[in-house]
Chains A and B, each alone.
Chain A
Amino acid sequence: MAKFMVIARGDLPPGMSPADMQRVLEKYMAWGQRLGAKGKLDHGNKLKDREGRVVGKVGGEKGSKPTVTDGPYAEAKEIIGGYWILEAKDYAEAMSLVVDSPHLEYGTLEVRAVEVL
Chain B
Amino acid sequence: MSDPPRQIESLVTDLFRRTSGRLIARLARRFGPQHLALAEEAVQDALMRALQSWPYSGVPDVPEAWLYKVALNAGLDALRRDMLGREKIAPTIAEIELAMAPKPSDVDDELAMMFMCCHPALPHAAQLALTLKIVGGLGVEEIAAAFLTEPATIAQRIVRAKKQIRDQRLPLEVPSAAEMPERLSSVLDAVYLLFNEGYAAHSGERVVRNDLCNEAIRLARLLLAAPRSDLPPVRALLALMLFQAARLPARTSEAGELLLFEEQDPKRWNTAMTAEAFMHFERSFSGAKTAYHVEAAIASVHAAAPTAAAIDWPRIRLLYDELLEFKPSPVTVLNRAVAIGMAEGPAAGLQALEPLQNEPALARYHLLTSAMAGLWARAGNASRAAQFYREALQKPCSGPERRFLERQLARCEGREGVAFLP
Contacts and interface: CB of A to CB of B under 8 A. Distances in A.
Nearest to B19: A18
Nearest to A40: B4
A36 B54 contact: no
A21 interface: yes
A103 B140 CA distance: 25
A65 interface: no
Contact of B4 (A8, A19, A21, A32): A32
A29 interface: yes
Contact of A17 (B52, B54, B57, B141): B141
Contacts of B55: 25, 28-29, 32, 44, 82, 103
B282 to A, nearest CB: 35
A24 interface: yes
Contact of A19 (B8, B13, B137): B137
B47 A41 contact: no
B9 A33 contact: yes
Nearest to A6: B56
Interface string B19-37: 1100000000000000000
Interface in B28-67: 44, 47-48, 50-59
Nearest to B50: A25
Contacts of B138: 17-19
A29 B12 contact: yes
Interface string A23-48: 01110111011011100010111100
Contacts of B141: 17
A54 interface: no
Contacts of B5: 33, 36-37
B51 to A, nearest CB: 5
Query: In the complex, which of the residues A29, A33, A41, A49 has the most CB atoms of chain B within 10 Å of its own CB atom?
Result: A29
Given A17-B141, A49-B52, A32 B57 contact: no
B366 to A, nearest CB: 30
A19 B142 contact: yes
Given A12-B48, A17-B141, A19-B142, A28 B4 contact: no
A33 B16 contact: no
A28 B59 CA distance: 11
Interface in A33-86: 33, 35-37, 41, 43-46, 49, 81-84
A96 interface: no
Given A19-B16, A29-B9, A12 B57 contact: no
B55 to A, nearest CB: 4
Contact of A22 (B15, B48, B140): B15
A117 interface: no
B175 interface: no
Determine the main DSSP class of B at the interface with A. Answer: helix
B176 interface: no
B54 A25 contact: yes
Interface in B226-285: none
A46 B56 contact: yes
Interface string A75-115: 00000011110000000000000000001000000000000
B8 A12 contact: no
A26 B142 CA distance: 18
Contacts of A116: none
Contacts of A21: 16, 47-48, 51
B99 interface: no
B416 interface: no
Given A32-B8, A45-B56, A81-B56, A25 B1 contact: no
Contact of B139 (A19, A44, A83, A84): A19
A107 B266 CA distance: 47
Interface string B134-177: 00011111100000000000000000000000000000000000
B325 to A, nearest CB: 40
Contacts of B286: none
Nearest to A24: B51
Contacts of A30: 8-9
Question: What are the nearest 10 A-B pairs in CB distance?
Answer: A17-B139, A36-B4, A82-B56, A28-B55, A18-B137, A46-B53, A18-B20, A44-B56, A22-B16, A46-B56
Given A32-B55, A44-B56, 4 more contacts: A16-B48, A19-B142, A29-B55, A81-B52
Interface of A: 8, 12, 16-22, 24-26, 28-30, 32-33, 35-37, 41, 43-46, 49, 81-84, 103
14 contacts: A12-B52, A16-B139, A19-B137, A19-B138, A20-B139, A24-B51, A25-B12, A25-B15, A32-B8, A37-B5, A46-B52, A49-B52, A82-B57, A84-B56
